[in-house]
Structure 1
């Protein structure tokens, strides 16, 4: 069944309004008719099965049939901090990690990042990334759409990392710390029972992190971790790390 995220102000007591691109998609692409049912969510606290009552040029009015539970989000909040990769790889990271269950994306520029930021294009780029996250969240039947931040520098990222319950930097030269024991240690902490932990997974560019960057990250409280013996592409590392975290927390059949 089709799912759409709509602004909270379009979600009323007995009905909802679907407007803009979503209304166009319903009417023109899906060729919806009165009586068809879809699922809508405000991405915050309300989700419902609705039945279409009116299809206009720029909006669709639908009656609420049943309120639905908001129970599809992971029990840990994982932020993906991704050094800007070349080409359209960032779009791939956002799309696939949203499907898997990422809560937020923090693009950043590090020492070996090849991509050059263009301030004039940044707004449109972030807007496109956010649209990709929305579409992926709808496809995966998420309750919420992950936020996509504007790109930041290394210093700003480390400041943000200090606000998390844990921040792990994927470092291919790290042989001592593994992701699994780091996660289990975090979840077994004094405040772990019943608390929704916030974890940041930091992934470097195609050329990896410099030793200086890793040292600064450790000084800021980040823990370098390995994702195994094989060297992963930058767009693969985030998806592998995120999947491992959600598996270990029971979101994908783990214990």
Structure 2
């Protein structure tokens, strides 16, 4: 069944779709017609079954709340140093599918790209569209927050919001560090807020690592193989899902 994210909260069981992009997708692309049913997700994260009552006026009726909740039991924020090309779009799409609660990016010391305020705003708008599509496809209850930081100091100021701040660090992997991620996963509690930091193509500088560690961050390796900047977040989210959602042992 098709799913759509609707801004706001339902005040009555009667609803008229007003967002132009949603209208286009529902009634032009997917060709919904009267009596067709869809799943709607509002800002409260609750899924609701709805039925089209008038396709000409984009009107639907909410039939019932659905109990389905597919969110990870912990909040995971993925923070990537500004990568080249369209890698951030890839990261946003795939980490949304894998359950990230927030997708951040920041200007790392070795980031090749430099985005001014205008480019950041345009990039954020594009990423939010990608996240919406990925969230609908993967049947999420909530869309990840997208935030692009203009400065590293703005990014650092957010560390205090999290229970744990962890850095995927290439040098830790090279040194054979292989227990910190497993230790972290084994001690996670429902509702904890985690920040995972990933470097851009060139990795994170030693100066950045020292700065992050002063703010309480912990470095860790992601196994013996060195992962690309767009691959590492997927590894982490998959490991978290396995540890908290699939492993019954």
User: TM-score, normalised to structure 1's length?
Assistant: 0.90
Correspondence list, 1:1-255, <5 A: 1-9=1-9, 11-19=10-18, 20-56=20-56, 60-69=58-67, 71-174=69-172, 175-176=176-177, 177-185=179-187, 187=188, 192=189, 195-249=190-244, 251-253=245-247, 255=249
Q: Is the 8 A contact 2:124 2:147 kept in 1?
A: yes
Which runs of 5 or more residues in structure 2 are unaligned?
A: none
Offset of 1:253 from its aligned partner? 4.0
Q: Is the 8 A contact 1:134 1:145 kept in 2?
A: yes
Residues 197-237 of structure 1 deviation map (CA, whole Å, 9 limit, x = unaligned): 00001000100111111111111100001001111110001
Offset of 1:70 from its aligned partner? 5.2
Which runs of 5 or more residues in structure 1 are unaligned?
A: none
- CA, structure 1 residues 152+161, in 2 after alignment: closer, same or farther (shift >3 Å)? farther
Q: Distance in 1 between matches of 2:248 and 2:214?
A: 32
Q: Is the 8 A contact 1:4 1:41 kept in 2?
A: yes
Offset of 1:26 from its aligned partner? 1.2
Report the count of equivalent residues.
Answer: 244
Q: Distance in 2 between matches of 1:70 and 1:83?
A: 34
Q: Give the superposed CA RMSD.
A: 1.6
Offset of 1:184 from its aligned partner? 2.0
Q: Distance in 2 between matches of 1:36 and 1:3?
A: 12
Q: Is the 8 A contact 2:45 2:142 kept in 1?
A: no
Q: Is the 8 A contact 1:15 1:64 kept in 2?
A: yes
Residues 28-74 of structure 1 deviation map (CA, whole Å, 9 limit, x = unaligned): 11111101000001132432111101123xx5111112211252211
